[in-house]
Chains A and B, each alone.
Chain A
């Protein structure tokens, strides 16, 4: 066990970021701040930001990943932790805790009720949470929080089994238009982003979204099995997640939900098939209610400095995520529009009344 713990100082050496002695997650905030203020950070643009006049942050920053380990929110939280910690941006250690369940609304409820006025705790959130809030009739919503920034976009893909006769999205949509019930779509949870994409496709092709034969799964992995095994006509999931399965030779990607083709990939966009659908699964960060303006600005600046770092750009590239940084009033406006879109689609699918 000693060897295991002793080994872990090398984690700070990953990804070409500055190596720092000692496992920072074990020591108090002050020590970490000292460790990062040193001149050994000269090769990076980012460095420690001093605390605010009010003395924020005071102790560890806790980042809630409102999902179980392994999913997109968990990955995002852990990557933020890695960049912030290795660059020492906050001057305090960053912890990640998982609060999975109910499309993130369990984590959201905890942030709003238990951490009101306590911005030491932040949370990762995203597009999926908007749908879950409506579908679960969550008593707390994004409006109860202080949104900080949107960080990244991930796009959706539409895939078919390799053995499928559908070669293009056009082929699939022709049959979908003719007999919507015969086309089964595998994807993640009901009302989640995969379901919403199929709902949008139905809308633009003139199919009654109520007739969509959507087969919900507990996650992208389970849905991938349904597609690879040829048990459904088509499937929908995140580009990064399913691109890997193409290599297994059991799945063919028909289209991606971005506005332009994704760099280095030849999968056509949905728009290229003449359907006006673009859908991004964006993810960002929230602060709890009662976060004052000064703290909000400080945190937004900390996120901005992370976004500008080479380490973060490398993470975006490695995960096939698109940089979509947005903060301040523009982000608030964007959230309002997204909420309206999600609402309208969920209503048309019949998931909410």
Chain B
């Protein structure tokens, strides 16, 4: 009772701070900007917040963090729009959404895909915020218990998602993921400090940014494809069939996917370093595995949109747990938010909840409000977005190329990055020409470096003893799941298809 009463007090303080008209306005600005930058390729929430940082020096910190929180949640949602409508994810965390989301658009269900993304994001964001509020201290224990061995095992599990991405052709899927793994090794190796595959090019020392790879392969690649062939995946762009809203069947299929995606996303999000992209891979794979019609995935299964979209939003909320409770940034965006805390002379950690309760609870309250604002903003906007499909292709693609170039350039103010993104666009063109799927490339780029570094750390800490992966219970359990993910389906297929 006492605890509940205290929570009530906290929430009163929090909503009291967040519902001030000025702070509400900051929340609204935040989600609007967030949605916009999510739609634009390249520019992400981390960059936006770091650009806004100097402007917020003199502001009340509560207002500033409400703005940042809105941007973060908004960007996670906004990334889905271009993925679904034109198959051009602006961030790596929306790559999975593009797979089935765009198929749905081609079948005339683009509106429904956007709607399931919006509602899923709302549910995920709300759940994540409730968990952040109720269970941050407990969740921190969980996050800290995750050592290098567990991370490595989790990456192995995420790699099994490949099965769902390869489509029919396993060889081409493997080729794509290997290309991704190879691209992921470029740059300075963290453990030894040695440059790998940089060929003396200074701009490659930092490695290939996941955003650059995503935008190069999908957005720029699509533009080149159109320029060369005059046909686009969107050539047969169907107009919206029937209602833009979800049908009864679509609701029934979305609801469980939202909840699964939310849970997967949140728990992946609280692990510093795993991130929204890994969460979306895991969620997509989970959906395909529990679905009674796994063959529909890759051809416009609504669960393939609902799950990953809920997951990437929930992971944004999850990554605030280690930030607020320990002062540890779990993602690029929270790293910038940590810098913002420091600018205000605030140190996140357990004391922050006690010393700055107006700020912490104001931020939490504003996240609830942001979620509602996002839903209110985005549901009517769906009708506007789907009209994008009526823009003539040549205009649309010219705009995409311009925004992609601009977005990638602003990432590091580097012309070199722009060359890289164009080069990757050419690579994507040839991959498509030979019908090699692109999503596994991103899978490789994201998971490869994480898997490699965590594996090497785990082995170095254990003094070269490989058994850590099976003697640590959590790691062993995750690896067992991965093993099951690979072996169970073929066995089941064999058993069920055997003639009696």
Give the interface of A toward B (CB within 8 A). 1, 3-5, 7-14, 25, 68-70, 74-75, 78, 81-82, 96-102, 105-106, 109, 135-139, 181-182, 184, 189-191, 213, 215-218, 221-222, 224-226, 228-232, 244-245, 247-250, 318, 351
How many Å from the CB of A70 to the closest CB on chain B? Answer: 4
How many Å from the CB of B298 to the closest CB on chain A? Answer: 34
Pairwise interchain contact B349-A8, C-beta atoms closer than 8 A: no
Nearest 6 Cβ contacts at the A-B interface: A10-B58, A101-B206, A190-B193, A11-B57, A70-B339, A11-B58
Pairwise interchain contact B148-A78, C-beta atoms closer than 8 A: no
Pairwise interchain contact A70-B54, C-beta atoms closer than 8 A: no
Interface residues of B in 314-335 (CB under 8 A from A): 322, 326-329, 335
Give the interface of B toward A (CB within 8 A). 22, 25-26, 29, 46, 50, 53-59, 67, 143-148, 188-195, 202-203, 205-206, 272-273, 322, 326-329, 335-336, 338-339, 342-343, 345, 347, 349-351, 412-413, 457, 460-461, 463
Tell me, in angstroms, the Cα distance from A244 to B54 when the chains sit together.
Answer: 24
Pairwise interchain contact A182-B338, C-beta atoms closer than 8 A: no
Pairwise interchain contact B53-A14, C-beta atoms closer than 8 A: no
How many Å from the CB of B159 to the closest CB on chain A? Answer: 21
How many Å from the CB of A225 to the closest CB on chain B? Answer: 6
Determine the chain B residues whose CB is within 8 A of the CB of A221 once the complex forms. Answer: 272, 327-329, 335, 338
Determine the chain A residues whose CB is within 8 A of the CB of B189 once the complex forms. Answer: 190
Pairwise interchain contact B413-A99, C-beta atoms closer than 8 A: yes
Tell me, in angstroms, the Cα distance from A195 to B145 when the chains sit together.
Answer: 25
Tell me, in angstroms, the Cα distance from A96 to B54 when the chains sit together.
Answer: 9
Closest-by-CB residue of B relative to A140 is B202
17 A-B residue pairs with CB within 8 Å: A7-B55, A7-B58, A11-B54, A75-B339, A78-B54, A101-B205, A101-B206, A106-B202, A189-B188, A190-B190, A213-B463, A221-B338, A225-B328, A226-B147, A229-B147, A247-B350, A248-B349
Tell me, in angstroms, the Cα distance from A250 to B195 when the chains sit together.
Answer: 35
Tell me, in angstroms, the Cα distance from A140 to B28 when the chains sit together.
Answer: 46
Known: A97-B413, A248-B349. A69 touches B188 (CB 8 A): no
Pairwise interchain contact A14-B58, C-beta atoms closer than 8 A: yes
Tell me, in angstroms, the Cα distance from A277 to B187 when the chains sit together.
Answer: 32
Pairwise interchain contact A244-B349, C-beta atoms closer than 8 A: yes
Determine the chain B residues whose CB is within 8 A of the CB of A215 once the complex forms. Answer: 191, 457, 460-461
Pairwise interchain contact A182-B55, C-beta atoms closer than 8 A: no
Taking A221-B335, A225-B272, A245-B326 as known contacts, 12 extra A-B pairs with beta carbons closer than 8 A to each other, sorted by chain A number, are A7-B55, A8-B56, A12-B58, A13-B58, A25-B54, A78-B343, A102-B188, A189-B190, A213-B460, A225-B322, A226-B147, A229-B147
Determine the chain A residues whose CB is within 8 A of the CB of B148 once the complex forms. Answer: 226, 231
Tell me, in angstroms, the Cα distance from A235 to B27 when the chains sit together.
Answer: 39
Determine the chain B residues whose CB is within 8 A of the CB of A189 once the complex forms. Answer: 188, 190, 193
Tell me, in angstroms, the Cα distance from A108 to B121 when the chains sit together.
Answer: 42
How many Å from the CB of A6 to the closest CB on chain B? Answer: 10
Determine the chain A residues whose CB is within 8 A of the CB of B206 once the complex forms. Answer: 100-102, 106
Determine the chain A residues whose CB is within 8 A of the CB of B145 once the complex forms. Answer: 229
How many Å from the CB of A307 to the closest CB on chain B? Answer: 21
Pairwise interchain contact B147-A216, C-beta atoms closer than 8 A: no
Determine the chain A residues whose CB is within 8 A of the CB of B195 once the complex forms. Answer: 136-137
Determine the chain B residues whose CB is within 8 A of the CB of A191 once the complex forms. Answer: 193
Pairwise interchain contact A351-B335, C-beta atoms closer than 8 A: no
How many Å from the CB of A167 to the closest CB on chain B? Answer: 21
Determine the chain A residues whose CB is within 8 A of the CB of B56 once the complex forms. Answer: 8, 11
Pairwise interchain contact B349-A245, C-beta atoms closer than 8 A: yes
Pairwise interchain contact B326-A228, C-beta atoms closer than 8 A: yes
Determine the chain A residues whose CB is within 8 A of the CB of B339 once the complex forms. Answer: 69-70, 74-75
Tell me, in angstroms, the Cα distance from A223 to B46 when the chains sit together.
Answer: 21
Pairwise interchain contact A4-B192, C-beta atoms closer than 8 A: no
Known: A4-B55, A215-B460, A247-B350. A69 touches B203 (CB 8 A): no
Known: A75-B342, A351-B192. A247 touches B59 (CB 8 A): no
Pairwise interchain contact A99-B191, C-beta atoms closer than 8 A: no
Determine the chain A residues whose CB is within 8 A of the CB of B350 once the complex forms. Answer: 247-249
Tell me, in angstroms, the Cα distance from A12 to B29 when the chains sit together.
Answer: 23
One of B26, B144, B203, B273 near A228 (C-beta < 8 A): B144
Determine the chain A residues whose CB is within 8 A of the CB of B347 once the complex forms. Answer: 244, 247
Pairwise interchain contact B190-A229, C-beta atoms closer than 8 A: no
Determine the chain A residues whose CB is within 8 A of the CB of B342 once the complex forms. Answer: 70, 75
Closest-by-CB residue of A relative to B51 is A69
Tell me, in angstroms, the Cα distance from A184 to B412 when the chains sit together.
Answer: 34
How many Å from the CB of A74 to the closest CB on chain B? Answer: 7
How many Å from the CB of B320 to the closest CB on chain A? Answer: 14
How many Å from the CB of B53 to the closest CB on chain A? Answer: 7
Tell me, in angstroms, the Cα distance from A78 to B339 when the chains sit together.
Answer: 11
Pairwise interchain contact A10-B202, C-beta atoms closer than 8 A: no
How many Å from the CB of B418 to the closest CB on chain A? Answer: 15
Tell me, in angstroms, the Cα distance from A139 to B200 when the chains sit together.
Answer: 9
Pairwise interchain contact B205-A231, C-beta atoms closer than 8 A: no
Tell me, in angstroms, the Cα distance from A132 to B194 when the chains sit together.
Answer: 10
Pairwise interchain contact A4-B29, C-beta atoms closer than 8 A: yes
How many Å from the CB of B347 to the closest CB on chain A? Answer: 5
Pairwise interchain contact A14-B57, C-beta atoms closer than 8 A: yes
How many Å from the CB of A226 to the closest CB on chain B? Answer: 8
Determine the chain A residues whose CB is within 8 A of the CB of B26 once the complex forms. Answer: 4
How many Å from the CB of A229 to the closest CB on chain B? Answer: 4
One of A5, A222, A225 near B144 (C-beta < 8 A): A225
Closest-by-CB residue of A relative to B49 is A69
Pairwise interchain contact A181-B463, C-beta atoms closer than 8 A: yes
Tell me, in angstroms, the Cα distance from A344 to B190 when the chains sit together.
Answer: 21
Determine the chain B residues whose CB is within 8 A of the CB of A101 once the complex forms. Answer: 205-206, 412
Closest-by-CB residue of A relative to B328 is A221
Pairwise interchain contact B22-A3, C-beta atoms closer than 8 A: yes
Tell me, in angstroms, the Cα distance from A68 to B335 when the chains sit together.
Answer: 10
Determine the chain A residues whose CB is within 8 A of the CB of B191 once the complex forms. Answer: 190, 215-216
Pairwise interchain contact A98-B50, C-beta atoms closer than 8 A: yes
Closest-by-CB residue of A relative to B416 is A106
Determine the chain B residues whose CB is within 8 A of the CB of A12 once the complex forms. Answer: 58
Tell me, in angstroms, the Cα distance from A109 to B326 when the chains sit together.
Answer: 36
Determine the chain A residues whose CB is within 8 A of the CB of B193 once the complex forms. Answer: 135-136, 189-191, 216, 351
Determine the chain A residues whose CB is within 8 A of the CB of B147 once the complex forms. Answer: 226, 229, 231
How many Å from the CB of A285 to the closest CB on chain B? Answer: 19
How many Å from the CB of A68 to the closest CB on chain B? Answer: 7
Tell me, in angstroms, the Cα distance from A267 to B434 when the chains sit together.
Answer: 63
Known: A106-B206, A136-B188, A221-B328. A5 touches B55 (CB 8 A): yes
Tell me, in angstroms, the Cα distance from A98 to B194 when the chains sit together.
Answer: 23
Pairwise interchain contact B146-A229, C-beta atoms closer than 8 A: yes
Which has the most chain B C-beta neighbours within 10 Å: A5, A102, A351?
Answer: A102
Determine the chain B residues whose CB is within 8 A of the CB of A8 once the complex forms. Answer: 55-59
How many Å from the CB of A182 to the closest CB on chain B? Answer: 6
Pairwise interchain contact B461-A184, C-beta atoms closer than 8 A: yes
How many Å from the CB of A220 to the closest CB on chain B? Answer: 10
Determine the chain A residues whose CB is within 8 A of the CB of B58 once the complex forms. Answer: 7-14
Determine the chain B residues whose CB is within 8 A of the CB of A135 once the complex forms. Answer: 193-194
How many Å from the CB of B348 to the closest CB on chain A? Answer: 8
Determine the chain A residues whose CB is within 8 A of the CB of B329 once the complex forms. Answer: 70, 221
Tell me, in angstroms, the Cα distance from A38 to B253 when the chains sit together.
Answer: 68
Determine the chain B residues whose CB is within 8 A of the CB of A222 once the complex forms. Answer: 272-273, 328
